[in-house]
Amino acid sequence: QVQLVESGGGLVQPGGSLRLSCAASGRIVSIYTMGWYRQAPGKQRELVASITSGRSTNYADSVKGRFTISRDNAKNTVYLQMNSLKPEDTAVYYCNRITAPWVWGQGTQVTVSS
């Protein structure tokens, strides 16, 4: 069973930065396309960034140019660097496999507010 543990969230002012981490255990995730998702209160979960096993990346228009997804296969970890944060980025952030998602982790809360 794969366990996904997200961390790195917090309270940040608009324009600030955060780096989220997603540590996977129970299975090597380097062969899978992984994604970062977010869910804001009252809204559906949405995919914001994805990275293939070959490190090709894709981003939602709302975060393009501000967020960067990466992976460290040696650490079985996926990262999301978030810059120029906006209040509308406030959400709980999750990571998971794109195809046939595993059990979701707890997520990490990101709050962008002055």
Q: Which amino acid is at 108?
A: T
**Residue 32 — φ and ψ, nearest 5°?**
-105, 155
Q: pLDDT at position 27, please? A: 85
Average of pLDDT values for 31-48? 96
Q: pLDDT at position 107, please? A: 98
Q: pLDDT at position 3, please? A: 95
Length of the chain: 114
Strands in 46-51's sheet, in edge-to-edge order, are 10-12, 108-112, 91-97, 34-39, 46-51, 57-59
Alpha-carbon distance of 23 to 6, in angstroms, equals 7
